[in-house]
């Protein structure tokens, strides 16, 4: 143990190992933070959720940092709810005939260089019998007032301004999200410019009863959203990017540790007992080495279950009897002839004690670098299976993002962030473990140092 501690202490002498350790710690920190802040059930609910949960996010929006690299600044999403927002004024006026008029005005600055994706109003009203009536007007910075539309609103009503055909006609055939923000003085009317400034949208809801209330959420769907962007189902990509970390690390570490440790124990047993036991283990290994690993995993995923635990179990079972058995066995055959093993037998150590206390500790220095280097391989395996459509159908993972991006032709449509973000995280994970693993290899196998 002392020697192991000393070897780990030597990590400090290798800058690449230090960087690797820091990167791994950051990943682990991200994983812990994610699990602590977004509980598993919440993550699943958000990831599985459709338009009901993700109604206020734009579709396929780029991350906000893409604005740093372009001259044309894309609009961010603006969400304004009529309650508890200082930029929204809400007034109640009761008329003599027992009607209530609720006036809500949303004031917002629009400074982007391009037009938004969509405009929508989400109404929520309380009434007994007769549906309230809403009328919406639009005030531009240069003082024009445009009538947007009038409609009866039910208890839960979505008014998609962008899809109002009457408004399109009123704007002279221009799409509302363009026409409402366009500068009338644009030099080229075919290619209108954005009129920057403070806009105001006035929503007036007329209640035909003396009780009741109305509220409305106004959303300008931008072209950029959050630090990660959104996907085709309006989901914020931050969720799968963050949740991908604990899943990837857990899968990689469990698979790598499970396979390394079990392989070592099996080869130790074979090396110690020899004879028939060793023969059986060696024959199983040889047969297993000829089996097509990925094809079997695809078969299991297609016909049985795509749960990550099934895939993990199948990966471990198929990899235990791997090529490492041959390497370890060769070393164990050498160690078992050591005189200290003979001494241990002479003072009565049992077979199991010899295997676990005398044979295995000798091989741990070999095992540790292999274990660390094995982690990214299994992280990538999980991602590859997800890309092939065999990822866990429930969990948000990095591989699943790439799969979604691929299915929705992300690169053809120019949504490079959709593939870039999970790919960068995968590369960071691989790089971190590789930097640490190769340094550990050099520490534990000093003969490589001279090379």
Partner 1 sequence: MAEILEKKLKDQDFSDTGALLQVKRLHVWFELRRFGFGHAGYVRAVDDVSFELKAGQAIAVVGESGCGKTSLMKTILGLNTPIKGDIIFDGMKLSELDRKGMMEYRSKIGFVQQDPYGALPPFMSIRSILDEPLIINGVKDPKERNERIRQVMEEVRLSPVDDFIEKFPHMLSGGQQQRVVIARAMILEPKLIVADEPVSMLDASVRVEILKLLENLQKSHNLAVIYITHDLSTVRYFSERIFVMYAGKVAEKAVVDEILNNPLHPYTEALLTATSEPDAANARIYKEVPPGEPPSLVNPPTGCNYHPRCPKIIEGLCDLEDPPEFEPVPNHLTLCWLHKDA
Instruction: Return residues touching partner 1 (CB under 8 A).
Output: 1-3, 338-340, 342-350, 353, 357-358, 361-362
Is the CB of residue 53 less than 8 Å from the CB of residue 44? no
| Residue with Cβ nearer partner 1 (64 or 349) | 349
| Residue with Cβ nearer partner 1 (90 or 362) | 362
Min CB(1)–partner 1 separation in Å: 8
Longest dimension (CA), the chain: 107
| Residue with Cβ nearer partner 1 (290 or 339) | 339
Min CB(436)–partner 1 separation in Å: 22
Min CB(272)–partner 1 separation in Å: 15
130 three-state secondary structure: coil
| Residue with Cβ nearer partner 1 (143 or 348) | 348
Report the length, in residues, of the chain. Answer: 451
Q: How far is CA 202 from the centre of its chain?
A: 38
11 three-state secondary structure: helix
Min CB(357)–partner 1 separation in Å: 7
| Residue with Cβ nearer partner 1 (349 or 419) | 349
Tokens (6 digits) for 91: 């007034």
Q: Per-residue b/e over 178-207, b at no fewer than 16 CB within 10 Å? A: ebbbbeeeeeeeeebbbbeeebbbbbbbbb
Q: What is the DSSP letter of 63?
A: P
Q: Write out the DSSP string of 387-443.
A: HTT-S-SSS--HHHHHHHHHHTTHHHHT-HHHHHHHHHHHHHHHHHHHHHHHHHHHH
Min CB(345)–partner 1 separation in Å: 6
Min CB(365)–partner 1 separation in Å: 9
| Residue with Cβ nearer partner 1 (225 or 358) | 358
| Residue with Cβ nearer partner 1 (161 or 359) | 359
Strands (E), 60-155: 78-81, 88-94, 100-110, 118-126, 133-139, 145-152
| Residue with Cβ nearer partner 1 (129 or 276) | 276
Min CB(278)–partner 1 separation in Å: 13
| Residue with Cβ nearer partner 1 (303 or 347) | 347
Min CB(374)–partner 1 separation in Å: 23
Is the CB of residue 112 less than 8 Å from the CB of residue 74? yes
> What residue spans of 38-162 are helical by DSSP H?
40-48
Distance CA 145, CA 140 (A): 7
Q: Collect contacts of 138-141 with beta carbons under 8 A, ≥24 apart.
A: 138/180, 138/199, 138/200, 138/201, 138/202, 139/199, 139/200, 139/201, 139/202, 140/180, 140/195, 140/197, 140/199, 141/195, 141/196, 141/197, 141/198, 141/199
Sheet holding 118-126: strands in order across? 78-81, 213-221, 118-126, 156-160
Min CB(346)–partner 1 separation in Å: 4
């Amino acid at each position: 143990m002392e020697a192991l501690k000393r070897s780990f202490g030597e990590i400090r002498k290798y800058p690449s190992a230090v960087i690797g350790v820091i990167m791994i710690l950051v990943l682990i920190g991200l994983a812990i933070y994610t699990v602590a802040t977004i509980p598993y059930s919440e993550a699943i609910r958000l990831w599985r959720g459709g338009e009901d949960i993700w109604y206020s996010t734009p579709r396929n929006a780029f991350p906000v940092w893409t604005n740093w690299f372009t001259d044309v600044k894309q609009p961010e999403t603006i969400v304004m709810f009529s309650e508890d927002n200082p930029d929204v004024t809400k007034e109640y006026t009761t008329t003599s005939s027992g009607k209530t008029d609720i006036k809500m005005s949303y004031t917002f600055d629009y400074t982007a260089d391009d037009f938004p994706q969509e405009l929508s109003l989400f109404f929520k009203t309380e009434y007994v019998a007769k549906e309230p009536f809403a009328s919406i007007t639009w005030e531009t910075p240069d003082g024009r007032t445009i009538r947007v539309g009038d409609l009866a609103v039910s208890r839960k009503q979505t008014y998609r301004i962008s899809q109002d055909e009457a408004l399109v006609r009123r704007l002279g055939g221009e799409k509302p999200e363009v026409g409402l923000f366009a500068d009338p003085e644009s030099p080229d009317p075919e290619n209108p410019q954005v009129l920057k400034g403070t806009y105001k949208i006035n929503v007036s809801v007329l209640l035909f009863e003396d009780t009741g209330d109305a509220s409305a959420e106004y959303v300008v769907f931008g072209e950029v959203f959050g630090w990660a962007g959104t996907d085709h189902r309006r989901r914020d990509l931050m969720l799968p990017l963050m949740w991908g970390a604990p899943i990837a690390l857990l899968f990689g570490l469990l698979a790598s540790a499970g396979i390394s440790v079990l392989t070592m124990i099996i080869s130790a047993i074979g090396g110690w007992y020899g004879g028939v036991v060793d023969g059986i283990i060696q024959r199983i290994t040889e047969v297993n080495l000829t089996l097509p690993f990925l094809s079997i995993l695809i078969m299991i995923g297609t016909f049985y279950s795509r749960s990550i635990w099934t895939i993990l179990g199948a990966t471990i079972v198929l990899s235990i009897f791997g090529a490492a058995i041959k390497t370890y066995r060769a070393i164990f055959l050498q160690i078992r002839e050591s005189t200290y093993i003979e001494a241990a037998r002479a003072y009565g150590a049992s077979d199991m004690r010899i295997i676990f206390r005398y044979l295995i500790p000798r091989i741990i220095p070999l095992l540790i670098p292999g274990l660390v280097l094995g982690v990214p391989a299994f992280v990538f395996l999980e991602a590859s299976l997800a890309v092939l459509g065999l990822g866990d159908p429930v969990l948000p993972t990095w591989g699943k993002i790439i799969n979604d991006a691929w299915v929705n032709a992300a690169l053809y449509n120019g949504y490079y962030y959709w593939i870039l973000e999970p790919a960068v995280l995968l590369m960071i994970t691989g790089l971190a473990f590789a930097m640490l693993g190769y340094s550990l290899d050099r520490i534990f196998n000093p003969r490589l140092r001279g090379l």
